[in-house]
Structure 1
Amino acid sequence: MVTATFRFYEELNDFLPAERRRREFVAPCAENATAKHMIEALGVPHTEVELILVNGESVGFDRRLRDGDRVAVYPKFEALDVSPLLRVREQPLRTPRFVADAHLGALARLLRMAGFDTLYDNRYHDREIADIAGRDGRIVLTRDRDLLKMRSITHGCYVRATEPVRQFLEIIDRLDLARNARPFSLCLVCNAPLRAVDKATVLERLPPSVRDSHERFTTCDACHRVFWEGSHWRRMQALLEQSLQSPASAQGGSQ
């Protein structure tokens, strides 16, 4: 029987049972098992992994494990430059675009609010999400570990937080998205681009109180909704300012 010694680092330990966290442990491996197969068999989705060292050598997911191998598995590095080493994926996606699973509708809305192209439909099945991610080059957002283990998904994030605002802050911080934000450029409902529109062209679609108190409007050509800078807009703006200035230290809140 082939056995190997494993050690997982930082937040990857969240996926392991308590007795295996932050320590080395020995595990039996299937015959001809690859690094990817064993990492996922131990509970860690491959999309969460940035670097694998086997016996101190940087390897890819397809490295077949041999008896006595020592395997170290790392998540995304925040400070250490690992550019000379073999990362397990190709180059990062140039433009961050997302597809969220059925349980993350509120997060999808917040990401759209910040200007990040995010597809969401609570009728999406796992296979459909994987197909969309592969076809469009999107990052999968989910709290379903099994979804991230699907072979066809190359970029994904397991969302650890359970409350939508905290989820939003987590993704902004983890993927370093602050500089890419384009607040209020996308429709919160259908994800289509918003455009400025003259007040006179939408006047009949506005509540009477809005007609008298607002002058700037945007509209979505897909769903034809009209948006203005009301109290909801101001609450969202405050959240964006908080999260984009210091997402790591923000405590979250509710809209």
Structure 2
Amino acid sequence: MGAMGAELCLRVEAGLLLFLAPRDRHDELRVSYDGVSSLGHVVESVGVPLPEVGSLLAGGRGVTPAYRPRDGEVVDVREMTRPQPVPTSRFLLDVHLGTLARRLRLVGVDTAYENDLDDDTLIERANAERRVLLTQDRGLLRRRMLWLGAYVRGARPEEQFDDVLGRFAPPLAPWSRCTACNGLLVPAHKDEVETGLRPGTRRSYDTFARCRTCDQVYWRGAHASRLQSIVERAERVVMTAAAE
């Protein structure tokens, strides 16, 4: 039987406050407690997905999400350290993160993305392929079946890009992946691809690459300087994250 009138004091670290309702974004949050639920359940009930939690301390002691706290206990909810150690640098993005997917592929990060996958399929694929699921759907991160996921911070693609690179510091290999399908690029001779090129492109460029998977052809065209700036930004963010 649960304890009547039991209460916990949660001290949620600043980086996790965005998950709380605006009225609850205080240094200390007092929540009612039934005396039987796990600490992980309590933390998620106030809005913080467990994949975003780096550690839990109850009375200053490290505990697991399965821990059952005592009435009146003070619990520190700390955010994930950065860069976050993960067993893989392979990612799967949900349907709302298409621009982020293309940017990650541009810098050579193994990034799966399709714009028509439902939540169950996303979880199944992330688990089967051992990819970290990146999403802004907090409910999706709370699904127990998901092996590993992360919330993407930021409304604009630039912010999201910096967040993912800073959080995971994945190894980069710019210009090595197809931004359309994630396949690997290989050098292609001009005479192999020129039949599909416009006359201006044939006259102006001599160096090409082709996707092994979908045959998309790439060259350093009019947008090369803008894309190069994205690559350089990524390299700076990852270098800074790795040095911390």
Q: Scaled by the length of structure 2, what TM-score is found? A: 0.89
- CA RMSD between the two structures: 2.0
What's the offset of the Cα at 1:69?
1.9
State whether structure 2 residue 55 is matched by structure 1 residue 51: yes
How many residues end up aligned between the 2 structures? 236
What's the offset of the Cα at 1:240?
1.4
Equivalent residues of 1:93, 1:137 under 8 A apart: no
Query: Which secondary structure state, in structure 2, belongs to the residue aligned with residue 72 of structure 1?
Result: strand
Q: Choose from 211, 221, 226 the match for 1:230.
A: 221
Equivalent residues of 1:112, 1:191 under 8 A apart: yes
Could you tell me how far apart the structure 2 residues matched to 1:158 and 1:208 are?
Answer: 45
Q: Deviations over 1:41-99 (max 9, x none)?
A: 010011111110011110111112222221101012359xxxxxxxxxxx943331111
Equivalent residues of 2:10, 2:28 under 8 A apart: yes
Distance 1:97-1:246 versus aligned 2 partners, 3 A rule:
closer
Could you tell me how far apart the structure 1 residues matched to 2:207 and 2:239 are?
Answer: 33
What's the offset of the Cα at 1:154?
3.8
Query: Which secondary structure state, in structure 2, belongs to the residue aligned with residue 50 of structure 1?
Result: strand
Amino acid at match of 2:109: F
Equivalent residues of 1:141, 1:158 under 8 A apart: yes
Could you tell me how far apart the structure 1 residues matched to 2:237 and 2:67 are?
Answer: 39
Q: Choose from 162, 176, 184 the match for 2:169.
A: 176
Equivalent residues of 2:8, 2:33 under 8 A apart: yes
Could you tell me how far apart the structure 1 residues matched to 2:36 and 2:161 are?
Answer: 40
Amino acid at match of 2:231: L
State whether structure 2 residue 56 is matched by structure 1 residue 63: no
Could you tell me how far apart the structure 1 residues matched to 2:19 and 2:175 are?
Answer: 35
Question: After TM superposition, where is structure 1 displaced by more than 3 Å over at least 4 residues in a row?
Answer: 246-249
Q: 1:168-207 residue pairs with structure 2 within 5 A? A: 168-177=161-170, 180-207=171-198
What's the offset of the Cα at 1:246?
4.2
Could you tell me how far apart the structure 2 residues matched to 1:116 and 1:207 are?
Answer: 30
Could you tell me how far apart the structure 1 residues matched to 2:39 and 2:126 are?
Answer: 23
1:86 equivalent in structure 2: none
Query: Which secondary structure state, in structure 2, belongs to the residue aligned with residue 127 of structure 1?
Result: helix
Could you tell me how far apart the structure 2 residues matched to 1:143 and 1:78 are?
Answer: 18
1:72 equivalent in structure 2: 76
| Identity score, percent | 35
2:122 equivalent in structure 1: 129
Query: Which secondary structure state, in structure 2, belongs to the residue aligned with residue 168 of structure 1?
Result: helix
State whether structure 2 residue 103 is matched by structure 1 residue 110: yes
Could you tell me how far apart the structure 1 residues matched to 2:208 and 2:33 are?
Answer: 60
1:252 equivalent in structure 2: none
Amino acid at match of 1:191: N
* Structure 1: gaps spanning 5 or more residues: 80-90, 250-255
Q: 1:84-163 residue pairs with structure 2 within 5 A? A: 92-163=85-156
Q: Scaled by the length of structure 1, what TM-score is found? A: 0.86
Distance 1:78-1:246 versus aligned 2 partners, 3 A rule:
closer
Could you tell me how far apart the structure 2 residues matched to 1:174 and 1:208 are?
Answer: 43
Could you tell me how far apart the structure 1 residues matched to 2:215 and 2:7 are?
Answer: 60
Equivalent residues of 1:47, 1:154 under 8 A apart: no
What's the offset of the Cα at 1:14?
0.9
1:14 equivalent in structure 2: 18
Q: Deviations over 1:115-167 (max 9, x none)?
A: 11111112111111111222222111111111111112243221221111221
What's the offset of the Cα at 1:247?
6.8
What's the offset of the Cα at 1:25?
2.2
Could you tell me how far apart the structure 2 residues matched to 1:123 and 1:225 are?
Answer: 21
Q: Choose from 203, 215, 236 the match for 1:212.
A: 203
